[in-house]
Structure 1
Amino acid sequence: MNTMLKVLLATAVATLTIAAEAHAGSALDAIVTSKQLRCGVMLDAPPAGFRDPNNEPDGYDVTYCKDMAKALGAEPVIVETPSPDRIPALVSNRIDVLISSTTPTPARALTVAFTQPYTNNIMMVVTRKDTGISQYSDLKSRKIGGVIGATPEQLFKQELANGWQSSGATYTGYASDSESYLALQQGKIDAILIAAGVFHALSQSGQFPEFVATGVAPLTDFGSIAVRRDDQQFLNWARLFIFQQEVSGRRAEVYKKYYGDGPLPPLTADSINF
């Protein structure tokens, strides 16, 4: 056997070995075998994720986990995953999939793999009725807050670096949405950013009657499902799952249940499909 042939054979064997290892390592196979799907979900971010009066997980993201598990012939296991722990929980294999309204960003995609968006949060400025804030630009000299690691925090920090800090604005990060709501209610901060659908559900609950939405923020916060970065098989399947949720009308059904009768936000940006 000549040297060139040996090299070609060795390359072919290595390629097949890598492909086989990648396939064997897919969470998809493990889920189908174990009949258990572990979903990382934030349960402090209603209506995407919360606990019902019986302390059971509920919400838009919880329902998506249950739908995915059903499609896989598996039982859903909801793993409560706070915002700062979402990516680490997936990387460390404590969960199989992250369904937690996570914004896909280039930086995060260095660590995990994202599907196309399954949710779209149009962000609103939410404040108390007594602050005098009437639009997003009014925040440049106010006390603002958000959830640590969330996309609104990134926007606010960019605004502070670009001039808001010199105008007197300050930012405080909180561990959860619930903590940021309480801080706003108590006057520790003047405003936060909340998805339009979330604010609708919050206002319907009557829990914070002093809150009011006063304008749209320059931020459209898409949320994608995430799997481990090298798991192409599971990523392909999850992308198809989202497609089926959309074309079957299931997304519209789940959205209406948790976010109300408002318009269904598109899953595209300026007519660009992900």
Structure 2
Amino acid sequence: MKLIKKVSSLLVILTVGVGVFVGCGNKSSEKSAIDIIKERGTIKVGVFSDKPPFGYVDANGENQGYDVFIAKKLAKDLLGDESKVEFVLVEAASRVEFLQSNKVDLILANFTVTPERREVVDFANPYMKVALGIVSQDGTKVTSIDQLKGQKVIVNKGTTADAYFTKNYPDIELVKFDHNTEAFEALKDNRGAALAHDNTLLFAWARENAGYTVGISSLGEEDTIAPAVKKGNEELLQWVNAEIKSLGQNGTIREAYNETLLPAYGDTVKIEDVIIE
């Protein structure tokens, strides 16, 4: 009986020991997020295709814009070459899902930081300031929310504008679209009295489209825009945090503004009101 107990105890010890050994082996063999990106040879970044001057596809089929400029700099610093970035086109409502399903490593798609979004993604250091704005036709310019009562407001699904009006003004009817191009065409077709979106986008759009004015330049609180990674991806988050800080300190963020946003804004916007260095 004693012999059986001794044998049983020995088997338990061996089993536990093997389990610990195997566990340690598996842990050491796990590849980090950075290693996976380096082995792949590209970093997958989610960007917009129709939101100039932040993320868009030009006439030659090339990705352009402020977010794209920064994404290329991240690729250069991580992989040694700006061309080592794989752009994945996203819509506002699909950004979280693309991270959660590993379709992208990083989102650089004008992603406004909100408490609700922090619950499902991890935001890195911000690189832009933003607030909501309202654009409308000059002939029926909207300068107050009171003017929108009984009217329709155009928004993009899954944006902060959508969430803001749904929460704060449930009596105002929203006309929602997936794509920015669809939303702005709806405004031109008079399918809404006004369009609500990021003021940083509206400043540029109104300057390019005669007959429209950003009558409300700041609605609600000022927010920030930041890169986002999959929830729990601590290694990549820490790397992006350090990288965004470095890009601000070495002048790259300012360079991105001058090359991509300044031509769209001209002297109508102050650089310090938009970028974070």
TM-score normalised per structure 1? 0.82
Query: Is 1:178 paired with 2:181?
Result: yes
Aligned pairs (5 A) from 1:42-81: 42-73=48-79, 75-81=84-90
Query: Which of 31, 38, 41 in structure 2 is aligned with 1:32?
Result: 38
Structure 1 CA distance for aligned equivalents of residues 199 and 175 of structure 2: 22
Residue number in structure 1 paired with 2:98: 89
Q: Secondary structure at the match of 2:149?
A: helix
> What does 1:160-199 align with in structure 2 at a 5 Å threshold?
160-161=169-170, 165=171, 169-199=172-202
Residue 267 of structure 1 deviates from its aligned partner by 6.4
| In structure 1, C-alpha distance between the alignment counterparts of 2:123 and 2:143, rounded to whole Å | 36
1:249 aligns with 2:251: yes
Q: For 2:27 and 2:46, locate their aligned partners in 1 and report how far apart those are by CA, in whole Å.
A: 27
Deviation at 1:128, TM superposition (A): 0.8
**Distance in structure 2 (CA, Å) of the matches to 1:103 and 1:256:** 21
Q: Secondary structure at the match of 1:240?
A: helix
Q: Is 1:235–2:237 an aligned residue pair? A: yes
How far 1:214 sits from its partner (Å)? 0.7
Larger Rg: 2
Structure 1 residues without counterparts, runs of 5 or longer: 1-5
- Contact 2:54 2:110 survives alignment (8 Å): yes
The separation in 2 between residues aligned to 1:185 and 1:221, in whole angstroms, is 28
Contact (CA 8 Å) 2:134, 2:199: kept in 1 or not?
no
SS of the residue 1:246 aligns to: helix
**Separation (CA, whole Å) in 2 of partners of 1:219 and 1:152:** 12
Same amino acid, percent of matched pairs: 23
Give the alignment of 1:258-273 within 5 angstroms: 258-260=260-262, 261=266, 262-264=269-271, 265=273
Deviation string 1:185-235 (CA, Å, 9 cap, x unpaired) is 110011122333323322343xx2121111221242421111111211111
143, 155, 172: which one aligns with 1:134:
143
- Measured at CA, do residues 97 and 132 of structure 1 come closer, stay the same or move farther in structure 2, by a change above 3 Å? closer
Matched with 2:113 is 104
| Alpha-carbon distance between aligned partners in 2 of 1:142 and 1:25, rounded to the nearest angstrom | 54
Structure 2 CA distance for partners of 1:95 and 1:199, relative to 1, 3 Å: same
Matched, 1:117 2:126: yes
RMSD, matched Cα: 2.7
TM-score, normalised by the number of residues in structure 2 = 0.81
